[in-house]
Amino acid sequence: MDKLVDHLFILEGNGVISDYNYTYSEYRELKKTEEREKQESKSLASGATQAEDLSKGKASFEQRKDFARLEKEIKKLEEKKAKITSTFEDASLSPERIMELSKNLIKSQINLPKKRRKVV
């Protein structure tokens, strides 16, 4: 299934459809990780933890700084990906240049974090 699919729409019930930009194996690993995190959060003693602060929307200064840095990095990588993709439209490209661009495109896609969006 991983060879055929790299983007999933998951019907979760109650009219909720989740959009995952993952392969099926990555999606299953994500769900396993989420289950483990749920179990760990239930087993934690009372008191505010960093995860609870994030779920309440309270990010620390360092976290906000990291978020801003990551957003800039994502934007740069997406621009690089778009530039490489547009270069493929040139009919006069040599096979060697196509291979080089393909490798750069793959590197850009690997460095881009996976996105998960809720679609309702």
- Residues 16-61: tens digit of each pLDDT: 888 888 788 888 888 898 888 888 777 764 445 555 555 566 777 8
Shared domain check, 51 and 70: no
Helix or strand run (H / E) with residue 10: strand 8-13
Question: DSSP for 25-60?
Answer: HHHHHHHHHHHHHHHHHHHSPSS--HHHHHHTT---
Residue 120 forms part of a structural domain: no
Report how many domains make up the chain.
2
Shared domain check, 22 and 1: yes
**Which of 9-18, 54-63, 74-83 is predicted with the least confidence, judged by mean pLDDT?**
54-63
Three-state DSSP state, 19: strand
Domain that holds residue 40: 1-58
Shared domain check, 68 and 48: no
Model's pTM, two decimal places? 0.37
